[in-house]
Amino acid sequence: MSAYRDEDPRIQGIKTKIRVVPNFPKPGIMFQDITTLLLDPKAFKDTIDLFVERYKGKNISVVAGIEARGFIFGPPIALAIGAKFVPLRKPRKLPGEVISEEYILEYGRDCLEMHVGAVEPGERALVVDDLIATGGTLCAAMNLLERVGAEVVECACLIELPELQGRGRLNGKPLYVLVEYQ
């Protein structure tokens, strides 16, 4: 599901604040730069508000943000809906005991880690990131949460690149997106 399809007037303002940078970080990539959105307090607030409106009252107890840009959107959403924020980090960034989930990228392998005990069995979780491309990172995040017994309610991303078909890799889990780029 996408807010864009629902024609919320805030979406166009948000979309105009996302800068597309051609050939970054390598030739052929059209990089979706959210830093320009963060420079506009209204667009940033509208982004958070749209997510909060969707998830308030859904009994979500965990907002899991994927490093690094999920750390920008996840904490304000968690605070507004009364949930805890759990960072899902790259390897060796969290002190103490962690649980890990390795995943395959189009150019190699990567891994997400979470503190042991950060999420309890039966908790309802929302996974937040800035963008879904191929879906590998979101799948790893969901697997990590489900391995400790959490129920992943939905994944939420600011941007979707539908031509990369990441949505199809989410094993039927709902995905909520504000902006789609073709």
pLDDT at 59: 98
Q: Are 160 and 179 in contact (CB under 8 A)?
A: yes
Find how far residue 50's CA is from the centre of its chain. 14
Find how far residue 180's CA is from the centre of its chain. 14
Phi-psi category of residue 160: left, alpha or beta, with phi > 0 → left and psi -120 to 50 → alpha: beta
Q: How does strand 30-33 pair with strand 19-22?
A: antiparallel
* Alpha-carbon span 49 to 181, nearest angstrom: 21
> What tokens were used for 50?
């749209």
pLDDT at 131: 96
What is the chain's pLDDT, residue by residue, as a tens digit (182 residues)?
Answer: 555 455 799 999 999 999 999 999 889 888 999 999 999 999 999 999 999 999 999 999 999 999 999 999 999 999 999 999 999 999 999 999 999 999 987 677 999 999 999 999 999 999 999 999 999 999 999 999 999 999 999 999 999 999 999 999 998 999 999 999 86
End-to-end Cα, the chain, rounded Å: 16
Residues designated catalytic: 69, 106
* Alpha-carbon span 122 to 102, nearest angstrom: 23
* Alpha-carbon span 76 to 38, nearest angstrom: 13
pLDDT at 7: 79
Residue 96: CB atoms within 10 A of its CB come to 7
Radius of gyration of the chain, Cα coordinates, nearest whole angstrom: 16
Where does 65-134 have alpha helices with state H?
Answer: 70-81
Does an H or E element contain 10, and which?
A: helix 9-16
